[in-house]
């Protein structure tokens, strides 16, 4: 196995490994690289859904996503991230990740990490970006670090409650009723969380799921969130990925955000499988 740095900011490419057949020493090497680099890219993988699930489970139990109508019908651990339509309806989440977010931060125990595997990619568009949220925290002014110490932010899946991400296209995401029905109750997590493995602090807010701050006035909370999000989303902290068929990217949801860049022309297909690893209560 060879592990080489992906960008100056973070991330690594892991080569010489078949994810359908990794021995326990290989898993440990990957776990170490995962904690060090936050985002791991594996190229040229040819794995079945079973192998994707088995490999993912080395890092923890898997989540079954709350978007039930986007799960693979034979494997509920696989979320379909896809613009394929059957009978006029998307078979998976067509708009997955269209604003910066960390997976499942709207849950009491958000996801540890996710593994997205490209089965079909569009010729144009469909890239994904990741943000290094350790770097976002580390480079905050000391005054801001002190201000956010001990603060908790409100997170919600319900995009209709979120002024920051604008009015969604109801035909693609479903109406208010769908979100009211499937969204779990709002949760509160530290604005800066400590990674349980590395002990490092990462900023843990996102435009997609963070609605406000627990204490203080909402105006002040929104100003603070705007400031933190603007700081975190600067280009120096970004890894930009143009997908190839067979790429699998595994990322840590505790110290990164990610964004689907979209821009796929009508008629081009992008079809991916995602597994989502369960995590712990952030602290």
Which chain residues interact with ligand SIN by CB under 6 A? 81, 96-97, 114, 116, 128, 258, 260, 274
**Among 98, 103, 247, 252, the one annotated catalytic:** 103
Nearer to ligand SIN, 100 or 134 (CB): 100
CB of 66 to ligand SIN, least distance (A): 13
What is the spatial distance between Cα 100 and Cα 67, in angstroms, rounded to a whole number?
Answer: 18
CB of 151 to ligand SIN, least distance (A): 26
The residue number whose beta carbon is nearest to ligand SIN equals: 97
Label residues 64-76 b or e (16+ Cβ within 10 Å = b).
Answer: ebbbeebbeeebe
Nearer to ligand SIN, 128 or 162 (CB): 128
Pair type for strands 127-132 and 113-120: unpaired
DSSP character at residue 161:
G
What is the spatial distance between Cα 205 and Cα 211, in angstroms, rounded to a whole number?
Answer: 9
**Among 65, 101, 208, 273, the one annotated catalytic:** 101
Beta carbons within 10 angstroms of residue 252's beta carbon: 28
CB of 142 to ligand SIN, least distance (A): 32
Q: Is 103 a catalytic residue?
A: yes
**Among 159, 189, 208, 258, the one annotated catalytic:** 258
Both structure tokens of 250: 């595994």
Nearer to ligand SIN, 195 or 258 (CB): 258
CB of 101 to ligand SIN, least distance (A): 7
Q: Is 274 a catalytic residue?
A: yes
What is the DSSP track for 64-106?
--S-GGGB-SS-TTPEEEE--EETTEESSBTTTT-S-B-TTTT
Nearer to ligand SIN, 26 or 204 (CB): 204
Q: Is 189 a catalytic residue?
A: no
Question: What residues are labeled active site?
Answer: 101, 103, 258, 274
């Amino acid at each position: 196995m060879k592990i080489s740095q992906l960008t100056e900011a973070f991330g690594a490419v892991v080569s010489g490994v078949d994810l359908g057949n990794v021995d326990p020493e290989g898993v440990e090497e990957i776990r170490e690289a995962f904690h060090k680099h936050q985002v791991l890219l594996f190229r040229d993988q040819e794995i079945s859904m079973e192998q994707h699930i088995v490999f993912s489970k080395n890092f923890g139990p898997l989540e079954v996503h709350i978007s039930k109508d986007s799960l693979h019908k034979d494997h509920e651990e696989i979320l379909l991230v896809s613009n394929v339509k059957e009978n006029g309806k998307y078979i998976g989440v067509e708009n997955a990740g269209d604003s910066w977010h960390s997976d499942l931060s709207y849950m009491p125990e958000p996801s540890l990490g996710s593994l997205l595997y490209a089965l079909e990619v569009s010729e144009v568009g469909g890239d994904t970006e990741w943000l290094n949220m350790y770097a976002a925290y580390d480079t905050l002014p000391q005054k801001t670090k002190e201000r956010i110490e001990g603060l908790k932010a409100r997170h919600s899946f319900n995009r209709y409650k979120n002024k920051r991400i604008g009015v969604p296209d109801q035909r693609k995401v479903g109406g208010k009723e769908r979100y009211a029905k499937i969204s779990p109750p709002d949760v509160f997590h530290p604005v800066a969380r400590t990674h349980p493995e590395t002990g490092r602090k990462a900023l843990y807010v996102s435009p997609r799921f963070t609605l406000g701050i627990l204490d203080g006035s909402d105006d002040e909370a929104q100003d603070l969130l705007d400031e933190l999000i603007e700081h975190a989303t600067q280009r120096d902290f970004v890894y930009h990925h143009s997908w190839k068929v067979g790429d699998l990217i595994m990322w840590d949801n505790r110290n990164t955000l990610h964004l689907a860049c979209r821009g796929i022309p009508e008629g081009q297909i992008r079809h991916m499988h995602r597994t989502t690893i369960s995590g712990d209560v952030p602290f």
